[in-house]
Amino acid sequence: MISANYHTHTARCHHAEGTEREYVEAAIECGFRVLGFSDHTPQPFPNGFVSSIRMEMDQLDDYVDTISSLKEEYADRIEIKTGLEVEYYPSCFEKLMYEIRKRDIDYLILGQHFVPEEENGFYSGWATDSEEKLELYADTVIEALETGEFIYLAHPDLLHFTGEKEIYLGHMKRLCEYAADRNVPLEINGIGVSLDRWYPREDFFDLAVSSGCRVVYGCDAHAPKQVCQPESIPGMAGLLQKTGVCSIDNDAILL
């Protein structure tokens, strides 16, 4: 049983449901001792761009205050952490970090859904056989991790590459070797398995394990029922066995 989950969303992102309290109760019910909320970060877009998949900057204080209140209320039952799932957008990253540091936020995870940026880039989950996009994804993620701001990389295999396996593994090897060298854990994504998405990829985690990467588990819950232990997800045990992931390091993340 995993003791901690750090990948949990809220309805503020416009594609999740349920109240924060419902997520907390679900976490307690399935045996988590630590629950981290990490909703999609707001972004201080320089050109007034409005995202449809994340909270607005003026919602950030309410997000932090709501979770802080639950931290106190549930302190004797579960430890609650306040985090954010951050996209690395160079045009506004420094301004974002300035806003984050003004608030009581415990941690950040990196989830690079758009490359290079949301306003002018492509979605990582769109199927593509473009080596250029694959290379740009790997370069962007490595550049983001170079900042040292993130406790782990969420769904590292989100880039939906449909081209030759050798090309894919060549660029992902750079990412995995970087993560192993810098001791940055890579997430095996619960919702990806439960919804039978293109990720987690078996070949990616084969590579991650052979590269010496640490692996963590994230529910990536967008509904309270998705807060669950990995063994309760059909197909997860088989994936872990096939890829040789013999240990999941959530317990080793100290905040």
**Closest among 236, 234, 237, 178 to 207, alpha carbons compared:** 178
* Residue among 100, 187, 109, 186 at smallest CA distance from 151: 109
CATH class of 4-252: alpha beta
Q: Extract the tokens encoding 197.
A: 């998405």
The confidence score (pLDDT) of residue 1 equals 87
Instruction: Evaluate whether 218 touches 187 at the Cβ level (below 8 Å).
Output: yes
What tens digit of pLDDT does each residue of 164-216 get? 999 999 999 999 999 999 999 999 999 999 999 999 999 999 999 999 999 99
State the pTM of this model.
0.96
Cis peptide before 46 (omega within 30 of 0): no
pLDDT at 247 over 90: no
Predicted local distance difference test score (pLDDT) of residue 79: 97
* Digit-coded pLDDT (tens) for 104-144: 999 999 999 999 999 999 999 999 999 999 999 999 999 99
* Ramachandran quadrant class, 77 (left: phi over 0; alpha: psi -120 to 50; beta: rest): alpha
Encoded tokens for 144: 């983001």
